[in-house]
A and B are shown apart, each in its own frame.
Chain A
Amino acid sequence: AQKITQTQPGMFVQEKEAVTLDCTYDTSDQSYGLFWYKQPSSGEMIFLIYQGSYDEQNATEGRYSLNFQKARKSANLVISASQLGDSAMYFCAMNSGYSTLTFGKGTMLLVSP
């Protein structure tokens, strides 16, 4: 079975600062994918970034980067230069063995001016 743990129910950051959202995972599979999604208050799920378990380099997409530490089974999301529009719920998810995504409980990020 696979499991995603997000230990931070809420995070606060000031505009223009960087923030790290934690995610640890558990799986017995060697091949798996890790994902981050953003859910603003409007409710949609927006794909942010993907990391494959065999990718040697950390994934980056604009201001988002994924700090992948395989031995620690962690896949933290780093948002650089936070913007007010980054305020949202962030979900870490994974798939392994099957294509279906298993989600964590999410972290609510609030960006203040």
Chain B
Amino acid sequence: EPEVTQTPSHQVTQMGQEVILRCVPISNHLYFYWYRQILGQKVEFLVSFYNNEISEKSEIFDDQFSVERPDGSNFTLKIRSTKLEDSAMYFCASSEVLYNEQFFGPGTRLTVL
């Protein structure tokens, strides 16, 4: 069964460093998303992406964040200069059709020291 994959599963970085989180959405899906979940809290939306551009973003998704689809399969989230409060689980998700169920990847746990 097709699934969303994410790499790495765990990333540890120093404050101020850049990180790139990678995702491979399900191949026939057209809509891509990033969410994050700070430990013990609810899942929060960051950004959605369709047709090679951002379609929606939350207030969390400030200038430190960027997304890219560098080729036909990968979807990346870049945090330019990480802060302690960026420590969280980051989930990539994809959906085939707008408003339908979104399938989540296993997540990348980002730890900023």
Contact = CB atoms under 8 A, between A and B. Distances in A.
For chain B, what secondary structure do more than half of its interface residues adopt (helix, strand, loop), or is it mixed?
A: strand
A68 interface: no
Nearest to B95: A99
A47 B103 contact: yes
**B contact residues, range:** 20 to 34
Contacts of A106: 42
Contacts of B41: 105
B89 A101 contact: no
Contacts of A42: 106
B111 to A, nearest CB: 13
A68 to B, nearest CB: 15
A33 B99 CA distance: 7
A101 B45 contact: yes
Interface of A: 33, 35, 37, 42-47, 50, 91, 93, 95, 98-106
